[in-house]
Structure 1
Amino acid sequence: METDTQTQARQSAITRGLTYFFETVAHGFDSVHAFWEGEVTSRRLATAIVVVFLGSLAAIEMNRWGLFPASIARVVPTNHFYAVNMAFTLLLLQEVMQLVLTLPRSFSRAVGKQFEILALILLRSCFKELVNIHEPLVFPQDMTPLLRILSDGMGALVVFVLLTVFIRVGKARKVHHDGAGLYAFVLTKKALSLLLLALFAVLGAYNLWLGVSGAEMFDFFTVFYTVLIFSDIFIVLVAQRHLPGFVAMFRNSGLALSTVFIRLALVAPPYYNAAMGVASALFAIMISLAYNYYMTGRLIAKRRR
C-alpha cells in the first residue's frame, strides 16, 4: 500500500507539474499581450482598417459602374455605407481581442470593456440602418430606419456615459488575499484568455469560410458574447476557490449577470436592444455601489472596534 510520504510526494509532483504547465501558458499569454499592445502593432492595425475601408469604397464604386463580372458583382454591394459597416466590424474585432487580453487584469475592467464593445455595436447598428435609407430621403418610408438610428445612437451615448460612472465605482476595494491563491487565480485567467483567443480565431475563420463559400454567415459578436458569459461564470467560480468570500462572490456574480443582459441586448429587436443595453449598465453600477457601500461600512466597523 502507498504510504503517507509517497502520497504526499505524488501530490507534490502533480502540483509542480500543473504549476509548470500554467506558468508556461501564462508566459505565452504575456508574449501575445505584449505583441498586441505594442505601438507598432497598433499602428499597423489602424493602417489596415483604413486600407480596407478605402478598398471597400473603391470596390463598391467599381461595382456601381458595372466593372466586375457577374460572379463578383453578386457578392460586392452597391451601397457605399457597406464600407462603413466593414470598417466598424474590424474595429469591433480589435476591441474583442483587447477584451480577451484584459480578462486576467480585473473582473470589473473586463466587464467595462464589454460595455465599450456594446456601445460600438450600437453605433455600428446605426450605420447598418443607413443602407435602408433612400438618397434623397423619402417620407414616410424612411421614418422607420431613422427612428432605429436615433434609438441605437442614443443608446450608445447613454451606455458610454454610464461607462464613465462604472469605471469610477466599479473598481473593487483592495482586500488582503493569500499571495499563493491570488497567483494561481491570475495564472488560471491567463490560461482561459489563451483558450478564448484560440476560439476567437476558429470562429472568425469559420465564419469567413461561410461567407466565401456563399453560405449564410452567423452573427459573430452574438456567438462570442455567449462564450464570454460562460467564461465570466467560470472566473466567478474559480475566484470562489482561490479567493473565497460572500461579498466578492456576490459582486462578481452580479457583474457576470450584467454581461448576460448585454448578450440579450444583442439579440433584442430594435428599441429594446438599446433599452436593455442601458439597463445592463445601470445594473452593473448598482452592484458596484452596493459592494462599495458594504465594504465601507465593514471598514468603519473595524476601526470602531
Structure 2
Amino acid sequence: MKKIHSLFNFFLNEKFKEKSEHIIIYISIIAFIVHLMFIFLNKLDFIHLELLSKLFNNPIAAIYTPFSFILIYEVYLLVYYLPKSTTIYIGKQYEIILLIIIRRIFKDISNLELTSNWFAVKYDLIFLYDIVAVVVLFFLIFIFYRLSERQKKNVVINEKIEKFILTKNRIASFLIPILLFLSLYSFINWINTSFFSVNALVYKFEDINKIFFEDFFTILILVDVLILLFSFLHSDKFSTVIRNSGFIISTIMIKLSFNTEGILNVILLVLSVVFGIIILFIHNKYEKLQTNI
C-alpha cells in the first residue's frame, strides 16, 4: 500500500510537473502537425473523413487537437494543486472551462457563414456567444485569483490544517489513476464511435466537447463533497464550511452546463464563476471581521 501511495505521490511532485509540461508541449506540436496532414490529405481526396468533416475540413480546426492536450495538462494541474490550495484548485476548474470554450471556437469556426443576417444563423450566434464568454470568463478568473491572493495572506498553518493537507494529498493521489482510466476509456470510446459505429455517431459527434469532461466534473463534485466532509474533522469554522459548499455548487453548475448549448451554456458557465467569486469575497470579508472581533 505504501509503495502504491509513493508511486502516486511521484506524480504530484514539482519535478514531474515540470517534465510533464515539456512533454505535453512536444506532443501538442506533433499532434497539430499530424492533424494538419490529415486535413491536407482529406482535401486532396487521398483519405475520406466525411463523418468527421467538422474537424478535417479547415486548417484552423487543427488547433483543436493541441488544445485538447493542453486541457489534459490543465486537468493534471488541477489534481496537483488540490492538496496545496483550495482556491487555486477551484481556479483551475474555471481555467479548464475557459479553455474548453476556446477549443470549441476553433472547432466551430469552420461552420461560420458570416452573412449579413448574422443573428439568424445558429453557428454565427454560437461563435458570438463564445467570444464574449472568453473575455468575460478571463476577467472573472483574474478577479478570483486576486481574491485568492488576499486570502493567502491571512492563512495560518497549524497542526489541524497540516493533517487536512495530508488528507487532500491522499485523495489527489488516488484521483490520478481514476482520471487516467477515465481519459483512456473516453478516448477509446470516441475512436470506436467515430470510426466503427456510424449510427451512434449521428448523435454522439455533436457532443465531442463533452467527451471526458462531463464525467470529469462529476468526479470533481464527488471529490469536493468528500473534501468538505473531511474538513469537518479539522475545522468547524462556519465561513470555511460555507465557502467549500459554495465551491461545490459552482462545480455543479459547470457540470450542468454540459447538458446545454448556445446562450444557456454560456450563462451557466459565467454564473458558476460569478457565484464562486461572490462566495470567496464574502468569505474573505467574514474572516477579516472575525479577526477584528
If the length of structure 1 is used for normalisation, what is the TM-score?
0.81
Work out which of the residue numbers 183, 198, 211 in structure 1 matches 2:190. 211
Q: Distance in 1 between matches of 2:227 and 2:179?
A: 18
Q: 1:260 aligns with which of 252, 256, 266?
A: 252
How far 1:49 sits from its partner (Å)?
A: 0.2
Give the deviation of 1:292 after TM superposition: 1.5
Question: Any residues of structure 2 matched to 1:189-204 within 5 Å, and which?
Answer: 189-204=168-183
SS in structure 1 of the partner of residue 258 of structure 2: helix
Over 3 Å counting, the alpha-carbon distance change for 1:50 and 1:175 in structure 2 is closer
Secondary structure at 1:267's aligned position in 2?
coil
Per-residue CA deviations over 1:169-196 (Å, capped at 9, x if unaligned) read 13536455641x3233222212211222
Deviations 1:75-117 (A, max 9, x none): 6853124322222212111111111111111111111111111
Structure with max Cα Rg: 1
Give, in whole Å, the separation in 1 of the partners of 2:117 and 2:40: 28
CA displacement at 1:128 relative to structure 2:
2.2
CA RMSD of aligned residues (A): 2.4
The corresponding residue for 2:16 is 36
Does structure 2 retain, via aligned residues, the 8 Å contact 1:118–1:156?
A: no
Displacement of 1:57: 0.5
Cα displacement (A) at 1:284 = 1.2
Aligned-partner SS, 1:170: helix
Q: Give the alignment partner of residue 136 of structure 2, picking from 158, 161, 169.
A: 158
For the 8 Å contact 1:233–1:256, the answer to whether it is kept is yes
For the pair 1:147 / 2:125, whether they are aligned, the reply is yes
Q: How many residue pairs get matched?
A: 274
Structure 1 residue ranges without an equivalent (≥5): 1-20
- Asked if the contact 2:42/2:57 (under 8 Å) is kept, the reply is no
Higher helix share: 2
Q: 2:9, 2:173 within 8 Å by CA — same for their partners in 1? A: no
Structure-2 change in CA distance of 1:75 and 1:118 (3 Å): closer
Structure 1 pair 241/63, CA: closer, same or farther in 2 (3 Å)? same
Return the alpha-carbon distance in structure 2 between the equivalents of residues 24 and 56 of structure 1: 39
Q: Aligned partners of 1:103 and 1:183: how far apart in 2?
A: 14
What is the aligned partner in structure 1 of residue 207 from structure 2?
none
CA contact (8 A) 1:88 1:124 kept: yes
1:226 aligned to 2:226? Answer: no
**2:277 corresponds to:** 285
Partner AA of 1:88 in structure 2: F
Query: Which of residues 87, 90, 96 in structure 1 aligns to 2:66?
Result: 87
Partner of 1:66: 45
